[in-house]
Structure 1
Amino acid sequence: MPRWVKVTIATVLPLAAGALAWWMCAMVGVDPNAAGIVVSLVVLVPGTPLVIWAGQTEASPAQRPRPVPAAIGGIPREPRAFQPRPDLLARIEEVFREGGAAAVCALVGARGVGKTQVAAAYARDRADRGVPVAWLHAETVGQLTASLHLMGAELGLRSAADDSSAVVRKLRAWLEDRQESYLVVLDNADDPDVLAPFLPARGGARVLITTNDLAFERIAAPLPVTRFTAGEARRYLHDRVGAIGDEELIGELIDELDRLPLALSIAAAALVGPPRVGYAAYLTQVRSTPVEVLLDRPRGEPYPRGVGQAITLALDGVGPQARRLLGELAVFSTSGVSQEILGPEATGALAELGAVSLVAFSQDGSTVLVHRLVRRVVRDEAARDGALASLIEAAALRLVFVERIADEDTGRRLPTILAVDEHATALWEALKPLLDEDAARARAAARTLFKIRHATAEHLLYLNDGTRAIPVAQAVVEGREQVLGPDHPETLNATYTLAHAYEFAGQAVAAVDLFADLVARWSRIRGEGAAETLRAQAGLASALTTAGHADEAVGLLENVVAAQSRILGSDDPHLLGSRFFLAFALVEAGQPDRAAELFEALVADRAGLLGADHPEALVDEQRLAWAYHHAGRFEEAIAVYEHVQPRQERVIGADHPDTLITVHGLASAYEAVGRIAEALTRYEHAAHRLATVLGPDQPLTLSAARDLERARRLAAPG
């Protein structure tokens, strides 16, 4: 409700009530002094809250606090025959109770003792009680960074321009300001120095860490987690396997497996079968499997005795397809692999691996998880056999579908695209040490990974998100330089993408420098008139326009378009792109009428080639409207914008940045013809949604926010 309406109501209603009270007092003959008191009360009692109400301003959609998600990240679901270990859960609660505000507890223990399952049981209990939970992966700096960025995004705190330190500061401040209960789990933490800046010093949040590093006692109350007790181990086998056999044999098997929950879970799966194996036979197998002979011992940290043996036995019991799949899972990111990436063809192998406890699943069943000890056993065995590069290549091939995601689906499938990039990053880190050992296979796998990450960067650029595209494109450039050399065409193509990422992120000077270097390199390799050189020149001109040198860009682009027209077909996408850049630069150079003519021709050509509702054809129409606006042809601009917006919403989605750019342009056109109320509504929508989709500090968001504030000032009375 407009504020002037509130003020009018808050003024008129109490006065009207006072006048009515005075008249009634006069009618019944009340003494004037008493009548004055009555009238004052009648005016003040309803008037005071009305004045307070009138002074309140309604929060805009962008200002309203985002509801806190009930869960961030995937809490592992309860495994079969789970032993709740209530004493540990009670001690966690005791640590949090005694620790006061912002208590931090670290579950510390060796690999395989079940720290993650204890933390998951506590997290599930908290979630059941209505406490929001964030489950974050902290095994590596990269995983922790990704988890913190996810948490920041889910809470509406992270902007696209935030680096890791900014995200940490915002999350810590949010946790310290929160008085209600909140649980953060940091699973498999490796470095206390990395976590320390994130841990809150006050507030209602509680932080639970799982780690095998005793150094965490410096920043958290340590709670040791050891192996199962003999009783817990026996109860687990009874619950999982069923009828108990020879108690002495069971005791020997429990001891042989060090009472480690992971080893016992794998052993139980083998005992259950099919085929079902007796305790005596399985114990004989365990004792005859010399894991120290089969597997190289990792430097500095041997496998817990018994776990490696149990894993090896389980591996021997699965078929070749399941074993191969487990090998691929072992080289993907440890945060888990979605069923979407693996595809329906992996269902049978996953069932086989799950039956022998070599894989687990997230609580909702959408993500496949592999314990880090299983991963290490499988990877070390593959490295010993010279098959690790082959496994990485096979895993990489599961990710190439990201190249086939259509433009119109990019926004909707962004979570999948980002997950693919996380896995590609993990695969590259695993592959780098093999470049000298298995050069041919490793180089082939590397080129596949670079194609995947390059496609990710291109998808981010299609969403106008240069900030997130920069580190991805930079990694591709550096990787290709290492594997292929700095002047390889694939390296130079990645450099082109990186330069555009700088431009989209508002770093136009860096983009100009990189494009200029690219022009020089292509000229030296291919020649000044080569298609690659001309494409780099068009990119340079686009960056010059962004940097405020539109006049220089126009001259360069006119030469590029003329040259490309001679050597390329009229439907070549690079020529169409250069024509787009030229029309854009003409608007910025103060020649909007000429730009409108070029955009009109481009709209017709692109629509004839790709269809009128192709995403690129719709952007051409959007920019035609923009040119009309700059030429003062406001009604024509409005008509085109209104025609484009619903089609973009249908094809690429209402929250796609290109759609929101159209909304922003339509608002500006409405403002130009005096339709201020309609302009204000669309400015608010564009600014709010761009901040949500891209972050508050992205150039498109900042532009919409500035226009919104100006429109609000215009609409303000007086």
Structure 2
Amino acid sequence: MGKTMLAASYAWASQAARWPVVAWIAAETTEQILTGLDALAGRLGVRAADDDAAAGAARAKAWLATTTQPALLVFDNATDVATVRRWCPATGATRVLITTRNRAFLRVCEPLEVEVFTPAQASAFLHRRTHVIDADGAAELAIELGHLPLALAQAAAVIARLRLDYAGYLDLLRDFPIGDYLPARHGDAYPAGTAEAILLSITQAETTLPFARQLLSILAVLSPAGIPLPVLSAPGGTGIEPMRLREMLADLADTSLITFNEDGTAILMHRLVQRVLRERATHHGDLDTILDQALRLLYVFNATLPNGAQTWTARPAVEMFIEQADTLYRQAHTDDGLPADLLALRAWCGRYLYDLADLTRAIPLLQTTLTEQERVLGADHPTTRIVQGNLTIAIAEHRS
């Protein structure tokens, strides 16, 4: 619907008004909230040297609750009411803005419903993006796509790239063999025409842009909060030369399938675009291969990170790596068990958290990893024993 973009517009306006603090926190998981607020504490200068993420987050919340300066705190794509409420400052001058699809938030927050475009807004949007002036054609296309901003953005990008009129795009859309790409609709279905519009954009990009399929597939299984460029451009990762990689990402941004964050250091892909790509991969039996490619990419990036006492010097990169690894873990997790390489990557995350003295996060992560490793590798496997030793040390330090 564009709820994140609406929140971003408000954040940019606050920034333009020179508010001292404008903080954007990815809020799908408790981990994201903790690491986001902990990073804010560092920027505010209130984080103690030996604070773990929870302690740092608590300091940021306390600062926001006592400040008399104008401040904005955005929780983007929040999922759990209790978790977000726990980390909302209850006093002070800070304004809190939450974007969510969970309607349970309506019981505790003042709502601002974000609707689809009106017919007039949809037509104006299409005219502005495509430079095709045809009121009836734009209206027909908007109806076909349910006036949904995301679908209209995909349509406009294809129309502009292929120099189509609205009728020509509608012919492509209606002829698109959606059943060849996605399983039959069930459960949480897409809005009208959205999957077709997204997949049409994807197939057009993959037909005309080299490396598009490889890049889009990998981005679909990594964090929707953003994939930093250092992950994609680590030597030996994607196999694409760095300058060529930037050119390819810029071309994909022109298709509206991805965007760059404000300072150009990370790639963002809409969650619904990610979902369509993952469902296509599952339908064709390619998802495991894509997860393996993303796993190799994270292994390459992991080799660039310091460990032991030096982990503190690269804390932002380490936290970002943990976020990406956790996303991959959630995508790959099945009752059949996890790949040994992914379990080893999780073990590294636990070790990094231990090195950062973040034992409240390290211990549960190491515990779940140990359980999985015992099931997949066996209790006597060398990697299992290493995790068991790290867990034992972490628990002993936490108790002392």
Query: Is structure 2 residue 205 aligned with structure 1 residue 306?
Result: no
Secondary structure in 1 aligned to 2:98?
strand
Aligned to 1:276: 163
Output the CA distance in 2 between the equivalents of 1:494 and 1:201. Answer: 40
With over 3 angstroms needed to count, the CA separation of the structure-2 counterparts of 1:143 and 1:457, relative to structure 1, is closer
Aligned to 2:387: 494
With over 3 angstroms needed to count, the CA separation of the structure-2 counterparts of 1:452 and 1:133, relative to structure 1, is same
Output the CA distance in 2 between the equivalents of 1:141 and 1:198. Answer: 10
> In the alignment, which of 134, 153, 160 is matched to residue 23 of structure 2?
134
Aligned to 1:483: 376
Query: Is structure 2 residue 223 aligned with structure 1 residue 333?
Result: yes
Q: Which runs of 5+ in 1 are unaligned?
A: 1-112, 509-718
C-alpha deviation, 1:346, in angstroms: 3.0
With over 3 angstroms needed to count, the CA separation of the structure-2 counterparts of 1:276 and 1:191, relative to structure 1, is same
Output the CA distance in 1 between the equivalents of 2:76 and 2:193. Answer: 23
Aligned to 1:228: 117
Q: Rg larger in 1 or in 2?
A: 1
With over 3 angstroms needed to count, the CA separation of the structure-2 counterparts of 1:506 and 1:373, relative to structure 1, is closer
With over 3 angstroms needed to count, the CA separation of the structure-2 counterparts of 1:486 and 1:199, relative to structure 1, is same
C-alpha deviation, 1:361, in angstroms: 1.0
In structure 2, what residue type is equivalent to 1:279? Y
In structure 1, what residue type is equivalent to 2:372? G
Q: Give the TM-score normalised by structure 1.
A: 0.50
Aligned to 1:364: 263
Q: Give the TM-score normalised by structure 2.
A: 0.86
Q: What's the CA shift string for 1:298-344, capped at 9, x where partnerless?
A: 75421111221110101111226212211111111221100010002
Aligned to 1:29: none
Output the CA distance in 1 between the equivalents of 2:4 and 2:195. Answer: 19
Output the CA distance in 1 between the equivalents of 2:27 and 2:354. Answer: 29
Q: Are the counterparts in 2 of residues 467 and 501 from structure 1 also a CA contact under 8 Å?
A: no
C-alpha deviation, 1:221, in angstroms: 0.9
With over 3 angstroms needed to count, the CA separation of the structure-2 counterparts of 1:464 and 1:171, relative to structure 1, is closer
Q: Are the counterparts in 2 of residues 403 and 455 from structure 1 also a CA contact under 8 Å?
A: no
> In the alignment, which of 380, 390, 397 is matched to residue 279 of structure 2?
380
Q: Are the counterparts in 1 of residues 52 and 358 from structure 2 also a CA contact under 8 Å?
A: no
In structure 2, what residue type is equivalent to 1:494? V
Higher RCO (CA 8 Å, separation ≥ 6 residues): 2
Q: Are the counterparts in 1 of residues 306 and 314 from structure 2 also a CA contact under 8 Å?
A: no
Alignment of 1:49-448 (within 5 A): 113-131=1-19, 132-157=21-46, 160=50, 164=54, 170-244=59-133, 246-273=134-161, 275-289=162-176, 291=178, 294-296=181-183, 300-319=187-206, 321-343=211-233, 344=242, 346-401=245-300, 402-406=302-306, 410-433=311-334, 436=336, 443=338, 446-448=339-341
Output the CA distance in 1 between the equivalents of 2:225 and 2:272. Answer: 14
Output the CA distance in 1 between the equivalents of 2:115 and 2:247. Answer: 35
Q: What's the CA shift string for 1:653-691, capped at 9, x where partnerless?
A: xxxxxxxxxxxxxxxxxxxxxxxxxxxxxxxxxxxxxxx
Q: Are the counterparts in 1 of residues 353 and 359 from structure 2 also a CA contact under 8 Å?
A: yes
C-alpha deviation, 1:375, in angstroms: 0.8
C-alpha deviation, 1:295, in angstroms: 2.3
Q: Are the counterparts in 2 of residues 168 and 197 from structure 1 also a CA contact under 8 Å?
A: no
Secondary structure in 2 aligned to 1:187?
strand
In structure 2, what residue type is equivalent to 1:317? Q
Q: Are the counterparts in 1 of residues 363 and 394 from structure 2 also a CA contact under 8 Å?
A: yes
Output the CA distance in 1 between the equivalents of 2:154 and 2:367. Answer: 42
Normalized per residue, the structure richer in helix is 1
Q: What's the CA shift string for 1:545-588, capped at 9, x where partnerless?
A: xxxxxxxxxxxxxxxxxxxxxxxxxxxxxxxxxxxxxxxxxxxx
Secondary structure in 2 aligned to 1:143?
helix
In structure 2, what residue type is equivalent to 1:413? A
Output the CA distance in 1 between the equivalents of 2:22 and 2:355. Answer: 33
With over 3 angstroms needed to count, the CA separation of the structure-2 counterparts of 1:114 and 1:461, relative to structure 1, is closer
Output the CA distance in 1 between the equivalents of 2:355 and 2:56. Answer: 24
With over 3 angstroms needed to count, the CA separation of the structure-2 counterparts of 1:462 and 1:136, relative to structure 1, is closer
C-alpha deviation, 1:252, in angstroms: 0.7
Aligned to 2:346: 453
Output the CA distance in 2 between the equivalents of 1:297 and 1:149. Answer: 42
With over 3 angstroms needed to count, the CA separation of the structure-2 counterparts of 1:226 and 1:463, relative to structure 1, is closer
Aligned residues: 384
C-alpha deviation, 1:411, in angstroms: 4.1
Output the CA distance in 2 between the equivalents of 1:229 and 1:162. Answer: 47
In structure 1, what residue type is equivalent to 2:256? S
Output the CA distance in 1 between the equivalents of 2:57 and 2:305. Answer: 32
Q: Which runs of 5+ in 2 are unaligned?
A: 234-241
CA RMSD of aligned residues (A): 2.7
C-alpha deviation, 1:139, in angstroms: 2.2
Q: What's the CA shift string for 1:504-524, capped at 9, x where partnerless?
A: x4546xxxxxxxxxxxxxxxx
Q: What's the CA shift string for 1:381-407, capped at 9, x where partnerless?
A: 111111111111110111113135456
Output the CA distance in 2 between the equivalents of 1:453 and 1:233. Answer: 45
With over 3 angstroms needed to count, the CA separation of the structure-2 counterparts of 1:385 and 1:375, relative to structure 1, is same
Q: Are the counterparts in 2 of residues 161 and 467 from structure 1 also a CA contact under 8 Å?
A: no
Q: Are the counterparts in 2 of residues 322 and 352 from structure 1 also a CA contact under 8 Å?
A: no
